[in-house]
Amino acid sequence: MTIPTSERVLVLAPLGRDSQVALQILGQAGIQGIAVGDVDELCAHLQREGAGMCIVANEALSEPKMQPLLVYLSQQPAWSDLPIVLMTHQRAADQAQSMLLAARLGNVTFVERPFHPMTLVSLAKTAIRGRRRQYEARDRLLDLGENEQRLQHAMSAGRLGAWELTRSPLQLNCSNRTRAHYGIEADAHFDYSDWLLCVHPGDQAMMQEALINSLQLGADFALQFRNRWPDGSVHWVDVRARAIPDAKGLIQGLVGVTTDITEQKAAEQQLRELNGNLEQQVEERTAQVRINEEALRQAQKMEAVGQLTGGIAHDFNNMLTGIIGGLELMRRRMHRGQFDDLPKLIDMGISSANRAASLTHRLLAFSRRQSLDSKPVQVNELVHSMEELLHRSLNESISLHMRLEPNLWIAEADPHQLESALLNLVINARDAMPGAGEVTVETANRHLDERFTSAQQNLEPGDYIMLSVSDTGMGMDPAVVDRAFDPFFTTKPIGQGTGLGLSMIYGFSKQSRGHVAIHSTPGEGTTVSLYLPRCYASQLPPSLVPVIESPMASNGETVLIVEDDQAVRTLVCEVLRELGYRYLEAADASEAQPILKSAQRIDLLISDVGLPGMNGRQLAEVARNLRPGLKVLFITGYAQHAEVRAGFLDDGMQMITKPFAFDVLTAKVREMSQA
């Protein structure tokens, strides 16, 4: 086994055989040794390789010769205390000299000659163990020194200063860098009281509270505060420390670091200012974007309004031409006494007026303001009842197929509007196939989940009945599909379509709490699917109002007519007068209430819904409070609160929509007055 040179034994015994005997004994014990001739050679080995111990004969250490050894021993580092075994004789003179040498050499153990081998070996092993611990202490000190050096480099790189505060007494020790963090020169006086004076007055209370918490409770000290430098400038410092307890757990003081964060705080302030400016810029930009979006929406709205009003004006001008022209010709014929062709002119005017009425109904459907009479509908039965009409609407080259779900749920919808929607869809499918083709009408039960309905507007998840019409026609590209529901938008040639069919279906579906969707592929065909909510109520038989010839009044029936439009009010009064009904008229609710409060007989109240001031529905409530059970017939052209009849009409109330045929009016009057 190789023994480090730092643990070998140096033997200095120049006289006799002492050195040889000692080396032999040590060698037998496994201890490596080397004999030296004098003190100079001994010191050379010590300085070059070191040694575990020295065995020296006292006669080798005369005064002039031992001086180099004394110098070496005096210059040992703090960790080193070289062990020396001094070989003496039993003579009194030698013992006295040995005591003097021991005082000067330091770590000395005596062995008397002649010595027992075990004694020498025991002394040597003990000395070498002690020397080994010294070398271990040296290595630890070197490691600590290196670690401290690395720590100093790290603190220097991090611009950290070190500080320590003892608790009793309050005494501050700090590094030069910490002093610099408070604007203090390295050699200037700086104690605990000076430290407190440096702290900014606005941060004094906060700093001292944190300091008390750390010294009394052992909490970590971590604080950022301002301090005033001797030149009056204000700087920021980040101070952190940890409480140091003694063996009993009592806090002895704080040890920590400091960092100058003045530049960091300035950067944070600049960042806050930039963020503030950025937020302002974002707000201004967002406001400008909103303005631009609003301008775009307004432009799109005006374009849509322009398209809508242009289409309305075009179609109404055509219809008014038929009405006004027919009336003008009638006046000329009557002036000349020619009455033969008057029925033809009257029919022409009525036809134009009916076309105008159909147009207004479609506009109301698109705007979702038509009056709907929603009820449970068996859609399959409705489709079967229209099958012959649908066949007649198609060309002979187009075949009609039905794929109807046998267990179809009951839908909730206005059956008349649904019939109109189905007919419109079939006609659109026909027009999309100039040659031969196929039209398929399909019904099915569908459940629309939240994932689907969330992408739509005002559509609730749940069960729906789907009614779809498919064709094998030309199809539409995405740009056309996107505009398909726009009012007066049509791809048909001029004069072959108003462009209101799909927009009416769209308004009807939304007003019915349903949905409509188009799937189209150019060259393959189009499918329009109408979704109507499922009705969970028991199936109700369709209520049919028989069209009867309006009989004359025979029992003095009296009708109160409340209508703000003079022309409509006059026409209704004239029709009732011709049929023998007595009538009272009022322009609004304020004129009608005195009549209702009087003793005058009133069998039926006919009221417009959209009256100025108190509307027709509110007037009906007042009338029924005054005359319980009074029948009420509403007439409406546009009424925001009468869009869906369910929930609007109570028992004994009915509604007809303007413009209406007088036969329908008189039949409804007779039906309600005799009920």
Do 381 and 524 lie in one domain? The reply is: yes
Do 426 and 526 lie in one domain? The reply is: yes
Confirm whether 541 is domain-assigned.
no
HSE-up of residue 660 (Cα within 13 Å, Cβ side): 21
Contacts of 588 (CB under 8 A, 6+ apart): 562, 564, 611, 612, 613, 614
Do 571 and 458 lie in one domain? The reply is: no
Amino acid code (one letter) for 15: L
Region for 513 from its dihedrals, namely left if φ exceeds 0, alpha if ψ lies in -120 to 50, beta otherwise: left
Determine the Cα–Cα distance for residues 521 and 286; give it in Å rounded to an integer: 39
Confirm whether 176 is domain-assigned.
yes
CA distances from 608 to 283, 326, 602, 616, 637 (A): 49, 29, 17, 6, 9
DSSP-assigned letters across all residues of 161-205 = EEEEEETTTTEEEE-HHHHHHTT--TTS---HHHHHHHB-GGGHH
Determine the Cα–Cα distance for residues 333 and 349; give it in Å rounded to an integer: 15
The CATH number of whichever domain residue 413 belongs to comes to 3.30.565.10
Q: b/e for 225-247, b at 16 or more Cβ within 10 A?
A: bbbbeeeeeebbbbbbbebbeee
Report the candidate in 333, 631, 319, 619 with the shortest Cα–Cα distance to residue 498: 319
> What are the two backbone dihedrals, phi and then psi, of residue 354, each rounded to the nearest 5 degrees?
-65, -35
Do 170 and 318 lie in one domain? The reply is: no
* DSSP character at residue 535: P
Determine the Cα–Cα distance for residues 436 and 403; give it in Å rounded to an integer: 20
The two tokens of residue 534 are 């499922």
Determine the Cα–Cα distance for residues 13 and 27; give it in Å rounded to an integer: 17
Find tokens 């008390």 and name the residue: 212
Are 433 and 472 contacting, i.e. CB atoms less than 8 angstroms apart? yes
Report the candidate in 649, 661, 675, 670 with the shortest Cα–Cα distance to residue 559: 670
Residues (pLDDT < 70) of the chain are: 1-3, 5, 90-96, 98, 297-322, 325-326, 329, 352, 355-373, 486-501, 537-554, 637-648, 674-675
Measured in whole angstroms, the distance separating CA 179 from the mean position of its chain's CA atoms is: 49
Report the candidate in 66, 71, 48 with the shortest Cα–Cα distance to residue 56: 66
Do 595 and 669 lie in one domain? The reply is: yes
For the segment 160-183, what is each residue's pLDDT rounded down to a tens digit?
A: 888 999 988 889 998 888 898 999
- Strands 53-57 and 411-413 turn out to be unpaired
Confirm whether 550 is domain-assigned.
no
Determine the Cα–Cα distance for residues 51 and 45; give it in Å rounded to an integer: 8
Report the candidate in 537, 577, 531, 574 with the shortest Cα–Cα distance to residue 553: 577
Do 247 and 277 lie in one domain? The reply is: no
Confirm whether 544 is domain-assigned.
no
Note the pLDDT of residue 570. 83
Confirm whether 640 is domain-assigned.
yes
The two tokens of residue 357 are 């009425």
Q: Work out the angle between the directed axes of helices 117-157 and 18-28 (0-180°, nearest 10).
A: 70
SS3 of residue 155 by DSSP? helix
Give Dmax over CA atoms of the chain in angstroms: 181
pTM of the model: 0.38
Determine the Cα–Cα distance for residues 672 and 396; give it in Å rounded to an integer: 45
Determine the Cα–Cα distance for residues 168 and 166; give it in Å rounded to an integer: 6
| 76, containing H or E segment | none
Among 306, 336, 366, identify where a domain stops. 366
How many CB atoms lie under 10 A from the CB of residue 126?
14
How does the average pLDDT of the chain come out, rounded?
81
CA distances from 631 to 457, 634, 649 (A): 38, 10, 11
The two tokens of residue 448 are 């629309």
Do 577 and 435 lie in one domain? The reply is: no
| 482, containing H or E segment | helix 478-483
Confirm whether 646 is domain-assigned.
yes
> What are the two backbone dihedrals, phi and then psi, of residue 240, each rounded to the nearest 5 degrees?
-135, 145
Determine the Cα–Cα distance for residues 88 and 111; give it in Å rounded to an integer: 6
Determine the Cα–Cα distance for residues 565 and 571; give it in Å rounded to an integer: 10
Among 260, 295, 321, identify where a domain stops. 260
Determine the Cα–Cα distance for residues 469 and 527; give it in Å rounded to an integer: 6
Confirm whether 32 is domain-assigned.
yes
The two tokens of residue 13 are 């015994």
Sheet holding 604-608, edge to edge: 582-586, 558-562, 604-608, 631-636, 653-657
For the segment 598-646, what is each residue's pLDDT rounded down to a tens digit?
A: 889 888 898 888 888 888 888 988 888 988 888 898 887 654 444 444 4
Note the pLDDT of residue 441. 92
Do 401 and 482 lie in one domain? The reply is: yes
How many CB atoms lie under 10 A from the CB of residue 601?
11
Report the candidate in 649, 600, 592 with the shortest Cα–Cα distance to residue 623: 592
The CATH number of whichever domain residue 189 belongs to comes to 3.30.450.20
Confirm whether 352 is domain-assigned.
yes
SS3 of residue 17 by DSSP? coil
Find tokens 């009608």 and name the residue: 592
Q: Work out the angle between the directed axes of helices 501-511 and 342-366 (0-180°, nearest 10).
A: 50
Do 395 and 474 lie in one domain? The reply is: yes
ω into 343 cis (within 30 of 0)? no
Determine the Cα–Cα distance for residues 140 and 122; give it in Å rounded to an integer: 27
The two tokens of residue 131 are 């020397």
Q: In the beta sheet, which residues pair with residue 585?
A: 561
Find tokens 């065995």 and name the residue: 55
Note the pLDDT of residue 236. 93
How many CB atoms lie under 10 A from the CB of residue 99?
12
SS3 of residue 281 by DSSP? helix
Do 438 and 485 lie in one domain? The reply is: yes
Report the candidate in 266, 268, 180 with the shortest Cα–Cα distance to residue 229: 180
Report the candidate in 314, 416, 389 with the shortest Cα–Cα distance to residue 356: 314
Among 260, 287, 311, identify where a domain stops. 260
The CATH number of whichever domain residue 34 belongs to comes to 3.40.50.2300
Note the pLDDT of residue 501. 63
Do 663 and 585 lie in one domain? The reply is: yes
Residue-range definition of the domain harbouring residue 12: 5-152
- Strands 251-260 and 160-166 turn out to be antiparallel
Are 669 and 633 contacting, i.e. CB atoms less than 8 angstroms apart? yes
Amino acid code (one letter) for 582: R
Note the pLDDT of residue 225. 92
Contacts of 277 (CB under 8 A, 6+ apart): none
Give first-to-last CA distance, the chain, whole Å.
129
Do 280 and 302 lie in one domain? The reply is: yes
Determine the Cα–Cα distance for residues 134 and 154; give it in Å rounded to an integer: 30
- Number of domains present in the structure of the chain: 5
- Strands 653-657 and 631-636 turn out to be parallel
* DSSP character at residue 372: B
CA distances from 203 to 211, 237, 257, 615 (A): 12, 12, 19, 71
